[in-house]
Chain A
Amino acid sequence: AQKITQTQPGMFVQEKEAVTLDCTYDTSDQSYGLFWYKQPSSGEMIFLIYQGSYDEQNATEGRYSLNFQKARKSANLVISASQLGDSAMYFCAMREGIGGGSQGNLIFGKGTKLSVKP
């Protein structure tokens, strides 16, 4: 079974509008972390935002916020006021807890390609 599911292969958004990228996850661990990375065409993975499973508040970093719904096992990324430079692949990733034998490696989804239209 997929541990990270990103159901949107591609998304379009108009410049200056907000967009939500979906991510659902599957784990039996109580302690885990959720990450979003951006991968422009240059190929480098750029860290955007992190949410710990015990964090009660949704994480925010500038124009990025993470809509964390623990009961639904979803961790959607919201980008506000989209910019042309936001066009890239976006990956959701999970780091499972030590109890599950994790050594901290990330499990990635297949990604969503976001295109921002001027």
Chain B
Amino acid sequence: GAGVSQTPSNKVTEKGKYVELRCDPISGHTALYWYRQSLGQGPEFLIYFQGTGAADDSGLPNDRFFAVRPEGSVSTLKIQRTERGDSAVYLCASSPWHYNEQFFGPGTRLTVL
């Protein structure tokens, strides 16, 4: 079956712009996580969805970051007024339940100029 997919694979934007990053989890997986990986670092947790609701958004760095999962499947991470410090690889992961192994997508590399 298909794995986790993320689009776009690369996104270059200018400081101050708005971006949307999409994650399509494995079919049937109810748990969905977003992580951010800066250069030379391990991934850092951003937000977790169980079904349609954000069960834990404690990792979002500030209110410029927002994520939705309206139908309990595809999720979109939204970043307003992007800053150069937002440049990173954004990883999405899904699992059948929140205590199972997480399956990661290939990531979206965001570059803010």
Chain A residues in the interface with B (C-beta under 8 A): 4, 33, 35, 37, 42-47, 50, 91, 93, 95, 103-111
Question: What are 29 contact pairs spanning A and B, CB under 8 A?
Answer: A4-B42, A37-B104, A43-B106, A43-B107, A44-B104, A44-B106, A45-B91, A45-B104, A47-B103, A47-B104, A50-B101, A91-B43, A95-B99, A103-B55, A103-B56, A104-B31, A104-B33, A104-B48, A104-B95, A104-B99, A105-B33, A105-B45, A106-B45, A108-B42, A109-B42, A110-B40, A110-B41, A111-B41, A111-B42
Instruction: Specify which chain B residues have a CB less than 8 angstroms from the CB of A103 in the assembled complex.
Output: 48, 50, 55-56, 98
Q: Is the CB of A91 within 8 A of B42?
A: yes
Nearest-CB residue, chain B, relative to A9: B40
Q: Is the interface of B mostly helix, strand, loop or mixed?
A: strand
Chain B residues in the interface with A (C-beta under 8 A): 31, 33, 35, 40-45, 48, 50, 55-56, 59, 89, 91, 93, 95, 98-99, 101-107, 109
Q: Is the CB of A105 within 8 A of B105?
A: no
Nearest-CB residue, chain A, relative to B97: A104
Instruction: Specify which chain B residues have a CB less than 8 angstroms from the CB of A4 in the assembled complex.
Output: 42
